[in-house]
């Protein structure tokens, strides 16, 4: 029985992420259909920084989930590195996500029973990389965010801003071509929000990762190269 191709390695396409007339429809409680996204099309050049703004329920998180291959569209195509996510099995999408995408969430999603170092190292450990190389890379990233002296601390000892810095390091550990962040500063105060956002933008640029982030803050959105708006599932670029 033939298997669909499993993405390996990191490609360097002209566009990191492409949506072609993508729609996502959910069944509502009354038996009808609810459009989370309607015919969304865009092309994100490699290395770009794009902010997406919109009210709660406008489709921002749905768009990121489709971009990450966590979900698949009802209609249209989502392409990453030339791979059409809708034609891949769930296993292949998972492998592609591991190789090519870094994810940052509002509520960190760190493992409370692990140290700072082990939380950052986890994606590389899962991928089976050499421990010596992982340790070197983790040390570089933690130094970059000012947390190298906290590497052996339990994650629960950190502040919210420090936890998000750890989450950024974890997302960047494999040098992903595409970085997706869903309200990465939504759980932080204003001072930490600006610090964490600027840190994320700078580190993504240093690694030449394309960055797409959702934010409710107009001030933080303006730090991106482009700001897109979502209204009731319709994208305005």
* 5 inside domain: no
Mean pLDDT of the chain: 88
How large is the average pLDDT for residues 185-213? 90
What is the domain extent for residue 32?
15-236
Judged against a pLDDT cut of 50, whether residue 11 lies above it is answered with no
Residue 195 structure tokens: 């610090």
More confident residue, 30 or 192: 192
Q: Can you give the CATH number for the domain in which 112 is found?
A: 3.40.50.300
Judged against a pLDDT cut of 70, whether residue 188 lies above it is answered with yes
pLDDT in tens, 53-75: 998 889 999 999 999 999 999 99
- Rounded distance, CA 145 to CA 26, Å? 40
Structural domains counted in the chain: 1
Q: Which of 9-23, 74-88, 122-136 has the lowest mean pLDDT?
A: 9-23
- Rounded distance, CA 93 to CA 59, Å? 21
Query: How is the chain split among helix, strand and coil, in percent rounded to 5?
Result: 35, 25, 35
- Rounded distance, CA 181 to CA 104, Å? 4
Judged against a pLDDT cut of 50, whether residue 47 lies above it is answered with yes
* 7 inside domain: no
* 3 inside domain: no
Residue 82 structure tokens: 């030339």
Q: How long is the chain?
A: 237
* 56 inside domain: yes
Concatenated DSSP letters for 167-214?
A: HHHHHHTT--SEEEEESTTTTS-HHHHHHHHHHHHHHHHHTT-EEEEE
* 74 inside domain: yes
Return the H-helix or E-strand segment holding 178.
strand 178-182
* 9 inside domain: no
The structure's pTM equals 0.87
Residue 67 structure tokens: 């971009």
Query: Would you give the DSSP letter of residue 151?
Result: T
The separation between CA 183 and the C-alpha centre of its own chain, rounded to angstroms, equals 10
Residue 126 structure tokens: 């899962």
* 112 inside domain: yes
* 222 inside domain: yes
Q: Which residue has the tokens 């190389």?
A: 133
């Amino acid at each position: 029985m033939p298997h669909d191709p499993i993405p390996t390695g990191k490609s360097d396409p002209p566009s990191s992420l492409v949506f072609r007339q993508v729609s996502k429809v959910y069944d509502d409680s009354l038996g009808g259909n609810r459009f989370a996204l309607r015919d969304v099309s865009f092309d994100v050049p490699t290395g770009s920084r794009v902010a997406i703004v919109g009210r709660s329920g406008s489709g921002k998180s749905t768009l990121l989930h489709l971009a990450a291959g966590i979900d698949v569209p009802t209609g249209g195509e989502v392409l990453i590195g030339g791979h059409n996510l809708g034609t891949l099995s769930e296993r292949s999408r998972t492998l592609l996500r591991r190789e090519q995408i870094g994810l940052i969430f509002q509520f960190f999603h760190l493992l409370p029973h692990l140290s700072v170092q082990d939380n950052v190292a986890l994606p590389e450990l899962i991928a089976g990389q050499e421990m010596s190389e992982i340790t070197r890379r983790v040390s570089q990233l933690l130094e970059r965010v000012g947390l190298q002296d906290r590497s052996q601390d339990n994650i629960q000892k950190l502040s919210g801003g420090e936890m998000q810095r750890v989450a950024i390091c974890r997302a960047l550990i494999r040098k992903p071509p595409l970085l997706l962040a869903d309200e990465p500063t939504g759980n932080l105060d204003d001072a930490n929000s600006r610090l964490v956002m600027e840190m994320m933008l700078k580190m993504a640029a240093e690694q030449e990762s394309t960055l797409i982030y959702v934010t409710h803050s107009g001030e933080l959105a303006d730090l991106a190269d482009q700001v897109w708006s979502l209204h009731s599932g319709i994208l305005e670029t």
